[in-house]
Structures are given as structure tokens and as C-alpha cells.
Amino acid sequence: MSAAARALALGAASLALLGASRPTGLGDVVSVRHWSFREYSRVVVETSAPVLAAAGEAPADARAGRPARIYFDLPETWVGRRFARPIRVGDGLLQQVRIGQNTLDTARVVLDLARYGRHRIRHLAGPDRLVIDVFARDGEPGPGASALPMELRPVSVVVVDPGHGGRDPGAIGVDGVREKDVTLALARALRRELRRRGFEAVLTRDADRTLSLEERTAIAEGAGGDVFVSLHANAAHRRARAGVELFTLDAHAQRQTLRLAARENGVALAEVDPLQRTLAQLRLSEVGTRSGALARQVHRAIADGMGTRWPSASEPALKQGPFYVLYLSDMPSILVEAGFVTHAGDARRLRDPEYQRAMAAEIAAGIARFRDGAAVVAEQRR
């Protein structure tokens, strides 16, 4: 038996372990969720304690009837009998997900593959979970996957993510204005403006429904997005705070931004610190550079275009912070806080369809400038 086959044995040995007594001090596998698209699938394994997974791959074994697979060992984790049956996926990319007790103190997650290009893993807190992304191709994810450098790829699909929704109202401000309502109205306006400029615009939600951060970015990856825009409305204890803020992903942030990131990530402030440490270790240069260019173009468009009619929006702030919704995407991404629901003037404007239309028009104009700049660079390098 090969080393790979031995490493993937979730057979007789694992079944024997199911009857073993559980060691003390182990965490649990709480749940497994998955989302499927034509060229991309996401599997999320939630655990009751933090876990750092170790990944491996094994080729198909036709004689043994085993497909190609990737596996993830979860140390200090117990499964027991809860996931004795495979979780069927059958999306053309993944056949199924299997979970077993590989050793007395290590659980193993195995993804049986129908097709495979590459995979990526992320670790999140609040709750603790492992996010596994599987792509059908070796290049960038999505139907338009390409081996071109990121700065040369055409920009045509924009994914717009209205923050919060459903059971999660987001921030609630003056006169009961709710962040989830503001973001959806702004997203619909932005979709219209993007289509006017020739983009394909995809909304992660077009109704008042609950979406996890993992599902939002899974939709973006599955749509083959070239740009991801997350829309939010801010809140502050100091009611005088007003204005627009734009964010890109980065490990360095002021304490004020960390509080905002904790709220948007849905975690305690202390749980933002592990994400910052993770970001500091990642190679963000290519996506980060493109995200910065996108943010600068949108920032410039808002600053130039909002004019004197909405002075609080005419000088937007450009910042960086550790936001999960930006961390889980492989495309140039920005987060826009369109105003403060806790400021009387901003709250009134955020509910004004004319303000929504104007803000959407400027965001779309900035994205168009970003697209056109990428096209110029691509033409010059031909």
C-alpha cells in the first residue's frame, strides 16, 4: 500500500476508532456546510475550538475504485459517530465529503474529487471554522479563469454585496434606520449604474435574507467575479461622526477600525487579532495592489462627484482593515461604509433614493476607471 493510500485510510482502522473512548480535552466537529458552482465549490467545517488543519492530496486509484482526493487533518478534534455517512455533494467538482476519526486525537476531512485544479484553505474565528475552496482549474477561479497576470485580466463581472440582511439588521441608527435596508437599496442602485457602464453586475442578495460571510464570498467566486464591493453603513457612539469610508484588506489598522471590523465580522474585538496575525503572514501583494488601485479610483470618483450637495460625502476616508468578507475573496475587493446611521444628517441621506443613486453612480464610475486603467495596461503589454 502506498504512503498516500495509508494516509487516507478511513476504512477499517477508522471504523475501529469509532468504538474507542473519547480522550479528554478535545474539540468537536460541530457542522459541515457546502456551496456549489460550476467551476468552484466551498466546504466549511465548523469546530468547537480553534484548529490548524494540515492538508494533503492523493491521486485516483482506479483498481481500488478510489477517486482523487484531498484531505485535512484536524488535530485535537473528535468526530465519533456523528458523521459516519458521507455528505453527498455531486456538483461535478466534488463527489462527497467524508469525515472520520483518523487517530484518537485527530479527525480527518476527505474530499472525493470529480475534477480538480487547486484548493485553498482559510481559518476563521467566531465561530472557529475551516474554509476549504476547491477550484476546477489551476489558474484563477471562475468561468473566465485565465493564466494572465492579475493586472492584465479584463474587468467585466462586478459582485456587489449588500451587508447584513435577514436576521441580522446590522447597525440601527437615527429614527430606526437599519443598515441592512440601506445596503440593499444602495446595491440595487449600484447594479443599475454598473449595467449602464457595460458591466455584468451580480448581487449576493436581492432580498432581505440572511447570508453568512462564507456564502457571500462563495457567490462572488462562483460568479467568476473580477471585482468585489461590500456595502455597509457605519455607526459610532459619538453622534457627530459622519462621512464615507472606504477600506481595503490589511493587517495594519487603528483601534477604531478594529472595532468596526469586529462588528462587520460578527466577532468579539479580541478575535480580530488572530486574523491580523494571519494577514501579516499572507502574500497579499498582487490582490492587495489591485485592491488598492480599485479603492483609489472609487475614492477619487466619490470625492470629485458628490459635490457640495452632500458635503459629508465629498471627502471620503481611505483606510485599511482586517475584514473577513475581503479576506475570503481572491479578487480585487473593497468595503464601502456609505455613511453613519447614527448621524442625523447621514441617516436621512442614506434613506434618500437620490443620495443612493448619486453614491452608486460615483462608485460605478470609479470601478469603470479601474477597468479602463487595466485595459490600458493590458494593451501596452501586448
Do 111 and 171 sit in the same domain of this protein? Answer: no
Same structural domain, 202 and 117: no
| CATH code at position 332 | 3.40.630.40
- Mind listing the pLDDT tens digit for each residue in 275-294? 555 554 444 556 778 899 99
Residues 214 and 333 in one domain: yes
Q: How many distinct structural domains can be found in the chain?
A: 2
258-262-268 Cα angle (round to 5): 115
pTM: 0.84
Please state the rounded mean pLDDT for residues 166-176: 97
Query: Domain range spanning residue 22?
Result: 3-135
Are residues 282 and 225 part of one domain?
yes
pLDDT band per the 50, 70, 90 thresholds, residue 80? confident
Kindly tell me if the per-residue pLDDT of 64 is higher than 80.
yes
Task: Tell whether 222 is covered by a domain.
Answer: yes
Least confident of 46-50, 80-84, 126-130, 172-176: 80-84
Query: Is 287 found in the same domain as 169?
Result: yes
Whether residue 319 has pLDDT greater than 60? yes
Query: In terms of domains, do 194 and 56 share one?
Result: no
Identify the CATH number of the domain in which residue 8 sits.
2.60.40.3500
Cα distance between residue 97 and residue 81, in whole Å: 15
pLDDT tens-digit series, residues 193-242: 999 999 999 999 999 999 999 999 999 999 999 999 999 999 999 999 99
- Residue 124 forms part of a structural domain: yes
Average pLDDT of every residue of the chain: 86
Q: Where among 135, 164, 189 does a domain terminate?
A: 135
